[in-house]
Amino acid sequence: MMNRKELALNRKELAVNKLQSLGEKIIEDVNLMNVPAIKVPSRGTSNIVYDDLKRYYVLGDRYGQRSLGNVKQIKKIGQMVYMANFCKSLVETGKTATLREMYYVSEGWDIDFGDQQESNIVGEDLEVTLGISREDLGLMPEEDGASVYGDITLKDDDVEINALRMGKSGYTISPTIDEVELVDHNVQRVIAVETMGMFHRMVQENAYKKFETLIVGLKGQAARATRRFLKRVNEELGLPVYICNDGDPWGFHIAMVIISGSAKLAHVNHELATPNAKFLGVTASDIINYDLPTDPLKDIDVLRLKELYKDPRYRDDFWKVEIKKMLKIGKKAEQQSFSKYGLEYVVDTYLPEKLDAM
Amino acid sequence: MEREASELFEEFKELTASEFFRRNKQMLGFSGKIRSLTMVFHELITNSLDAAEEAGIQPEISIDLKRVDKDHYILYHMDNGPGIPEDFITKVYCTMFAGSKFRNIQSRGQQGLGCSGCVLLSQMTTGKPARVISGYKKGEKLQGVEMTFKMDVKTNKGLILDRKPAEVTSTGVAIELQFKDVSYSLSEQGAFEYIRRSMIANPHAKITFRDPTGHKYIFERATDVIPPLPKEVLPHPRGVTADDLIFMAKHTDKRRFRSLLTSSLSRMSTKRVNEIQEITKIDLNKRPKDMKWDEAERIVELFAQMDFMAPPTSGLIPIGKVQIEKGIREILEPEFVATTTRKPKTYRGGVSFVIEAGISYGGNSGRVVGEQKRAEIMRFANRVPLSFDQGSCAITEALKSIDWKRYGIRDLENAPITVFVNIVSTNVPYLSTGKQSVAPEEEILHEVRQATMKIARSLQKYINAKRAAKDEEMRSKIFETYVPVIMREAALLAGKDVPEYEHILAKVTRRPKILDEMDIDLGELADDDIVGEKDDE
């Protein structure tokens, strides 16, 4: 098996080749006396389809044409080509840049962007056209990923890191997680939690020992790097992934984006989705069974629950039942509401019961 | 102490016309400093134009306005008309209502007071006499005379102070007048704008004007065609009042009232006269002088109920669409101009009129207000600019009622547009004594709208074509800018040389229509699941 560095090198080579092919296609069109045009897979709603087999959203086979002969499209082609050159030099020199940095660099180009939103979109165009993720193009998200606590050893460049020896806040997943090698581990599973409050609770209650688990503090909606990390530990290390969030539609969806990916990123879900990950709770049934302190659902919660009910990602009976149940009781509960029975309750009682049931 | 009636009536003397207007100069239009000067220009210019046209001469006027002090000016006005014979000079300039009679003719002159009013104003404000040099033909011989005179308002006659022969090289009249309490202004109501507008409606004339700062404006004639003289037409029965009938009866040489009717009114046959006699039971064989007021009133009332043919239109001489266009092009130098002259119509059932309109865009069209171009409306009656009372005028009302958005003009007020409207009639229905605004007769409103909407459509076509050409140009520019850049970057990306791409550039810039528009606005792709959906298959 190739080690991570070789794999990364391989990815690098692939990215450069793909970028280069974009330029080659244009030059070839010109030489063939054709007006150059680029096929950009469509990201319209009708072209985002849920793949039953893969269990996440993928792009359909519809695409739009960006023609050099179209006054509205020519600028986009220009921006794409410019950006491709920028990414090529990033990958070749082994550097990365954030989207914001790239936006500022573009100010010096002959074809610039109106605002960062516009450059972000062209970045997505490039990802979807070339079929590789933007991390592979050297474009990194601004934000760091989640915190990880537990017995896993990683290798970032030449530095070996153990996530048990990084202090109580654990290891922070880097945006460049794809270049990090997963060297060794001594755990059975991964438990991801929505809030850092819960993360610290679990660290303090020695949950990592008790369940032989990695604890991942998501900090709300999971960053791309976090999702990439979860997918890799699941698929490369074969560790089951469990997610424990607040018992409300927003908590449900944070879990679902990890499991089945987002519609917006359908073109890179094959790199991000972890279809094997499991939602542990808090479910509507938990609220009833554990008699948790609750808040009433707000209008917007009800609206969101109804949306989720129609979403193909929630087609399982489990979800149908839980969503209906929550709508019926009209209540939601936070993870921390288990403290009603004492701070240890969640680790001593709730989690073992739920894990057993899985 | 009480005074007897006879004592009081000693002060009650018969006023001459001059004396009356001396006391009521606002009735001549002389109210306000700016307006007074504009009215002086108006009287002198229309007089000169009328005189030259009547003599078959292409009018040429030269005006010099010198500022002496604040609100104090000396005006020199010279024309190339036939001149005024020596004996008539004081009559023209010092006698009010000279030669006024009942005439149903299209004319510029509005008050019949004309030049004498200007002399009166000069005398009232400065006490200075008027000076006139006239060159005129006596037989085949060219004669010249210079005269200095005042107006004797008590007798409504001229008072000659000096009279001497003058060397002249051609016919024409030059007059020098001084004014106080007047002011020269560049505003829409001012004298300069009056000249400019006169030139648009009278493209056959030439005016040279030196303004108080010494700047000389030369308004060249845009055409050599002198308009034909309007013919006098008999008034239509629907267009006369009881007073008009009595006036005609007093001044006729006919011996019977019935023959007065058939000879003084149009569309009036013997058959009609018999009908009138039958219905009113008035003896129409009596002498015209014996016609009583209430009888005249009854006859006029009957006119309103009878069916008459529409009045003859032979007396109407419009400027003509070609001539209006020439006038506008000369003065406004617009990008685009469209003009139209409508067919004659009648209002109040008996008065015929013609509406002419022009619209010009760009160039010097519109008024500059601050930094912005504003639309301007130029109103005319029988070629004479109407400078005042714009708000109450039928022309303004009709133009404002048009839905300009339909013609691609989003905001009429703020468009670089001049709209020209001229009403031609033997009897323009003015709203007030100042004769500066046209009454909102339904037929007139309708005609102004129709005329203007027609030319507005032409303007719309022009604006659209211009916009399309501009878009096309921008399109080409985009390609010319982006294609070389893309070629350079694509070559860099591919690691190859920049290819020969002239053929591609030629191909894309000459393409007339964008065929496969893929107008997906990815800027709206912000939300998680909401994505625009317009891609091509």
CATH (domain of B138) = 3.30.565.10
3-class DSSP state of A210:
helix
Question: Does one domain contain both B206 and B143?
Answer: yes
Q: How many beta carbons lie within 10 A of that of residue B146, not counting itself?
A: 17
Question: Does one domain contain both B250 and B214?
Answer: no
Out of A57-61, B37-41, B378-382, B510-514, least confident range: B510-514
Question: Does one domain contain both B128 and B266?
Answer: no
For residue B193, being part of any structural domain is answered with yes
Question: Does one domain contain both B381 and B337?
Answer: yes
Provide the pLDDT confidence category of residue B232 given band limits of 50, 70 and 90: confident
Q: Quick one: pLDDT at residue B514? A: 43
* Single-letter amino acid, residue B283: D
Q: Are B516 and A68 in contact (CB under 8 A)?
A: no
Question: Does one domain contain both B205 and B284?
Answer: no
DSSP code at position A142: S
Known catalytic membership, residue A104: yes
For residue B472, being part of any structural domain is answered with no
* Rounded distance between C-alpha atoms, residue B504 and residue A267, angstroms: 32
Fold classification of A147-357 (topology level): Dna Topoisomerase Vi A Subunit; Chain: A, domain 2 (3.40.1360)
- Paired with A279 in beta bridges are A243
Best to test chain B binding among A25, A29, A70 (most B CBs inside 10 Å) = A70
Q: Are A225 and A141 in contact (CB under 8 A)?
A: yes
Q: How much is the average pLDDT of B329-335?
A: 92
Q: Are A37 and A26 in contact (CB under 8 A)?
A: no
Q: Quick one: pLDDT at residue B318? A: 93
Question: Does one domain contain both B185 and B289?
Answer: no
Residue B375: name the closest of B385, B354, B390, B388 by CA. Answer: B390
Q: How much is the average pLDDT of A73-100?
A: 90
Q: How many beta carbons lie within 10 A of that of residue B19, not counting itself?
A: 18
CA separation, residue A346 to residues A282, A355, B399 (Å): 11, 12, 81
Question: Does one domain contain both B29 and B93?
Answer: yes
Both structure tokens of A257: 């984006």
- ipTM surpasses cut 0.85: no
* Rounded distance between C-alpha atoms, residue A43 and residue B532, angstroms: 8
Portion 8-67 of A in contact with B at CB < 8 A = 19-20, 22-24, 26-27, 30-31, 33, 35-36, 42-48, 62-67
Provide the pLDDT confidence category of residue B289 given band limits of 50, 70 and 90: confident
- Give B492's contacts in chain A (Cβ within 8 Å): 23, 85
Q: How many beta carbons lie within 10 A of that of residue B367, not counting itself?
A: 16
* Rounded distance between C-alpha atoms, residue B72 and residue A220, angstroms: 84
Q: Quick one: pLDDT at residue B26? A: 74
Provide the pLDDT confidence category of residue B103 given band limits of 50, 70 and 90: low
The residue to which tokens 């990123």 are assigned: A265
**Which chain A residue is nearest to residue B527, measuring alpha carbons?**
A264
Q: Quick one: pLDDT at residue A270? A: 86
Task: Say yes or no for a CB contact (<8 Å) between A46 and B533.
Answer: yes
Average pLDDT for chain A: 89
Provide the pLDDT confidence category of residue B97 given band limits of 50, 70 and 90: low
Element (H, E) at B50: helix B33-54
* Rounded distance between C-alpha atoms, residue B249 and residue B316, angstroms: 26
Both structure tokens of A131: 């079929």
> Looking at the predicted structure, is the pLDDT value of residue B62 above 90?
yes
How many CA atoms within 13 Å lie on the side-chain side of A352? 9
Nearest to A74 among B479, B493, B494 (CB): B479
- Measured in angstroms, the CA of A294 and the nearest CA of chain B are apart by 28
Task: Say yes or no for a CB contact (<8 Å) between B491 and A27.
Answer: yes
**Which chain B residue is nearest to residue A82, measuring alpha carbons?**
B489
Highest mean pLDDT among A228-232, B53-57, B434-438: A228-232
Q: Quick one: pLDDT at residue B1? A: 56
- Measured in angstroms, the CA of B529 and the nearest CA of chain A are apart by 6
The CATH classification number of A4-48+58-140 equals 1.10.10.10
Question: Does one domain contain both B273 and B353?
Answer: no
Question: Does one domain contain both B439 and B403?
Answer: yes
Question: Does one domain contain both B330 and B356?
Answer: yes
Phi-psi region at A167: left, alpha or beta (left = phi > 0; alpha = psi -120 to 50) = left
Out of A116-120, B96-100, B305-309, least confident range: B96-100
Average pLDDT for chain B: 85
The residue to which tokens 């390609």 are assigned: B479
For chain A, the C-alpha Rg in angstroms (whole number) is 22
Tens digit of each residue's pLDDT (9 = 90 or more) over B116-134: 889 989 999 999 999 999 9
Question: What are the DSSP E strand ranges found in B211-319?
Answer: 216-219
> Looking at the predicted structure, is the pLDDT value of residue B512 above 50?
no
Nearest to B531 among A44, A67, A74 (CB): A44
Task: Say yes or no for a CB contact (<8 Å) between A77 and B486.
Answer: yes
- Give B472's contacts in chain A (Cβ within 8 Å): none
Nearest to B490 among A26, A62, A63 (CB): A26
Portion 257-296 of A in contact with B at CB < 8 A = 262-264
- Any CB–CB contact under 8 A between A321 and chain B? no
> Looking at the predicted structure, is the pLDDT value of residue A58 above 60?
yes
Q: How much is the average pLDDT of A290-303?
A: 92
Residue B349: name the closest of B188, B492, B239 by CA. Answer: B239
Torsion of CA B495, B496, B497, B503, to 10 degrees: -120
- Measured in angstroms, the CA of B472 and the nearest CA of chain A are apart by 10
> Looking at the predicted structure, is the pLDDT value of residue B104 above 60?
yes
3-class DSSP state of B267:
coil
> Looking at the predicted structure, is the pLDDT value of residue B516 above 70?
no
CA angle A152, A155, A156 (to 5 degrees): 125
User: Any idea how long chain B is?
Assistant: 537
Task: Say yes or no for a CB contact (<8 Å) between B483 and A121.
Answer: no
Provide the pLDDT confidence category of residue B100 given band limits of 50, 70 and 90: very low
> Looking at the predicted structure, is the pLDDT value of residue A87 above 90?
yes
Judged on CB neighbours under 10 Å (0-12, 13-18, 19+), B453 is middle
- Give A31's contacts in chain B (Cβ within 8 Å): 499
Q: Could you tell me which residues come within 8 angstroms of residue A298 by beta carbon, excluding any fewer than 6 positions away?
A: none
> Looking at the predicted structure, is the pLDDT value of residue B522 above 50?
no
Q: Quick one: pLDDT at residue B367? A: 86
- Of A44 and A314, the one with more pLDDT: A314
Best to test chain A binding among B522, B530, B537 (most A CBs inside 10 Å) = B522
Best to test chain A binding among B473, B479, B489, B504 (most A CBs inside 10 Å) = B489
Residue B531: cis peptide before it, omega within 30 degrees of 0? no
Nearest to A110 among B479, B485, B528 (CB): B485
> Looking at the predicted structure, is the pLDDT value of residue A338 above 60?
yes
- Measured in angstroms, the CA of B497 and the nearest CA of chain A are apart by 9
Which of A56, A104, A242, A345 does the annotation list as catalytic?
A104
Provide the pLDDT confidence category of residue A226 given band limits of 50, 70 and 90: very high
CA angle B383, B386, B391 (to 5 degrees): 140
- DSSP assignment string, B146-194: EEEEEEETTTTEEEEEEEEE---SSSEEEEEEEEES-----STTSHHHH
Element (H, E) at B23: helix B17-23
Task: Say yes or no for a CB contact (<8 Å) between B485 and A30.
Answer: no
* Rounded distance between C-alpha atoms, residue B74 and residue B128, angstroms: 11
* Rounded distance between C-alpha atoms, residue B324 and residue B358, angstroms: 7
* Rounded distance between C-alpha atoms, residue B410 and residue B413, angstroms: 9
- Measured in angstroms, the CA of B523 and the nearest CA of chain A are apart by 6
* Single-letter amino acid, residue A35: V
Task: Say yes or no for a CB contact (<8 Å) between A30 and B516.
Answer: no
Residue B92: name the closest of B52, B124, B132 by CA. Answer: B132
**Which chain B residue is nearest to residue A124, measuring alpha carbons?**
B522
Q: How many beta carbons lie within 10 A of that of residue A226, not counting itself?
A: 25
- Measured in angstroms, the CA of A275 and the nearest CA of chain B are apart by 19
> Looking at the predicted structure, is the pLDDT value of residue B383 above 70?
yes
**What does pTM read for this prediction?**
0.63
* Rounded distance between C-alpha atoms, residue B314 and residue B444, angstroms: 19
> Looking at the predicted structure, is the pLDDT value of residue B533 above 50?
no
* Rounded distance between C-alpha atoms, residue A243 and residue A256, angstroms: 9
Q: Could you tell me which residues come within 8 angstroms of residue B251 by beta carbon, excluding any fewer than 6 positions away?
A: B101, B102
- Any CB–CB contact under 8 A between B492 and chain A? yes
The residue to which tokens 């519809």 are assigned: A62
Phi-psi region at B275: left, alpha or beta (left = phi > 0; alpha = psi -120 to 50) = alpha
Element (H, E) at A225: helix A224-235
- Measured in angstroms, the CA of B468 and the nearest CA of chain A are apart by 14
User: Any idea how long chain A is?
Assistant: 358
* Rounded distance between C-alpha atoms, residue B245 and residue B260, angstroms: 9
For residue B518, being part of any structural domain is answered with no
The residue to which tokens 């020209």 are assigned: B420
For residue B315, being part of any structural domain is answered with no
Provide the pLDDT confidence category of residue B10 given band limits of 50, 70 and 90: low
Q: How much is the average pLDDT of B338-360?
A: 92
β-strand pairing of A213-217 with A189-193: parallel
Provide the pLDDT confidence category of residue B536 given band limits of 50, 70 and 90: very low
Task: Say yes or no for a CB contact (<8 Å) between B518 and A65.
Answer: yes
Q: Are B518 and A40 in contact (CB under 8 A)?
A: no
- Paired with B422 in beta bridges are B356, B380
Judged on CB neighbours under 10 Å (0-12, 13-18, 19+), B148 is middle
Question: Does one domain contain both B442 and B356?
Answer: yes
> Looking at the predicted structure, is the pLDDT value of residue B458 above 50?
yes
Task: Say yes or no for a CB contact (<8 Å) between A64 and B504.
Answer: no
Phi-psi region at B214: left, alpha or beta (left = phi > 0; alpha = psi -120 to 50) = left
Tens digit of each residue's pLDDT (9 = 90 or more) over A252-288: 999 999 999 888 888 888 888 999 999 998 999 999 9
- Measured in angstroms, the CA of A196 and the nearest CA of chain B are apart by 24
Q: Quick one: pLDDT at residue B155? A: 83
Task: Say yes or no for a CB contact (<8 Å) between A30 and B487.
Answer: yes
Q: How much is the average pLDDT of A99-127?
A: 88
Nearest to B485 among A46, A70, A111 (CB): A111
For chain B, the C-alpha Rg in angstroms (whole number) is 31
Q: Quick one: pLDDT at residue B307? A: 84
* Rounded distance between C-alpha atoms, residue A177 and residue A155, angstroms: 10
* Rounded distance between C-alpha atoms, residue B376 and residue B366, angstroms: 5
Give the domain range for residue B443: 321-463
Q: Could you tell me which residues come within 8 angstroms of residue A188 by beta carbon, excluding any fewer than 6 positions away?
A: A211, A212, A213, A239, A240
* Rounded distance between C-alpha atoms, residue A55 and residue B285, angstroms: 113
β-strand pairing of A189-193 with A241-244: parallel
**Domain CATH code at residue B263:** 1.10.8.50
Domain range summary for chain A, segments of one domain joined by +: 4-48+58-140, 147-357
Portion 99-158 of A in contact with B at CB < 8 A = 110-111, 117-118, 121, 124-125
Tens digit of each residue's pLDDT (9 = 90 or more) over B136-194: 998 889 999 999 999 888 888 889 999 999 999 999 999 999 999 999 998 889 999 99
For residue B482, being part of any structural domain is answered with no
- Give A72's contacts in chain B (Cβ within 8 Å): 514, 517-519
Per the structure, the count of domains in chain B is 3
- Any CB–CB contact under 8 A between B513 and chain A? no
Residue A260: name the closest of A207, A308, A331 by CA. Answer: A308
**Which chain A residue is nearest to residue B508, measuring alpha carbons?**
A69
Q: Quick one: pLDDT at residue B534? A: 36
For residue B473, being part of any structural domain is answered with no
Question: Does one domain contain both B195 and B327?
Answer: no
